[in-house]
């Protein structure tokens, strides 16, 4: 009985933490994302490679390449953890991984573009 209680407590804390993490990451469709980034002083970050970034990006996004592990944390440490961060990548997979890393770094408000840059209908 005691072991069962310990297992249930462990599982509860495990799943509780996961729910808390996903609450900090909001996935927005392109229209919602466009509206959200049209405000002043946002932290907009493109986590694609420099080559992908140079082919086109959204607004004045910073380029912090997810695959450049040595620079990823250093560059994100320069951002304000209290302000929302808007992430995107090519299709949404890298930005989801980046969002999880940002949660671990202490960021609390993260918005991710559903479908990534491929789904962005507002390209110029």
Determine the Cα–Cα distance for residues 112 and 103; give it in Å rounded to an integer. Answer: 13
Give the global pTM: 0.81
Average pLDDT over residues 84-97: 98
Mean pLDDT of the chain: 87
- pLDDT value for 15: 44
Over residues 72-90, mean pLDDT: 97
pLDDT digits (tens, 9 = 90+) for 36-59: 999 878 999 999 999 999 999 999
Structural domains for the chain: 24-119 (3.40.250.10)
Is 12's pLDDT higher than 70? Answer: no
Buried b (16+ CB within 10 A) or exposed e, 6-20: eeeeeeeeeeeeeee
Phi and psi at residue 88, in whole multiples of 5°? -160, 160
Q: Is the pLDDT of residue 124 over 80?
A: no
Tokens of 41: 């002083």
Residues annotated catalytic, as ranges = 89
Residues 111 and 88: beta-carbon distance below 8 Å: no
State the pLDDT confidence band at 1, using cuts at 50, 70 and 90: low
pLDDT at 19 over 70: no
Residue 10, pLDDT > 80, answer no
Paired strand residues for 89: none
How far apart (Å, rounded) are the C-alpha atoms in residues 47 and 88?
6
Nearest of 86, 100, 93 to residue 116 by alpha carbon: 93
pLDDT, position 24: 87
């Amino acid at each position: 009985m005691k072991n069962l209680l310990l297992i249930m407590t462990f599982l509860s804390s495990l799943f509780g933490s996961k729910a808390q993490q996903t609450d900090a990451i909001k996935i927005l469709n392109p229209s919602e994302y466009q509206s959200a980034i049209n405000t002043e002083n946002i932290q907009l970050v493109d986590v694609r490679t420099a080559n992908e970034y140079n082919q086109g990006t959204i607004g004045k996004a910073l380029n912090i390449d997810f695959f450049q592990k040595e620079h990823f944390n250093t560059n994100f440490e320069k951002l304000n953890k209290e302000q929302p961060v808007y992430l995107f990548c090519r299709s949404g997979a890298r930005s989801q991984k980046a969002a999880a890393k940002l949660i671990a770094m202490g960021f609390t408000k993260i918005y991710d573009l559903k479908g990534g840059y491929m789904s962005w209908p507002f390209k110029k």
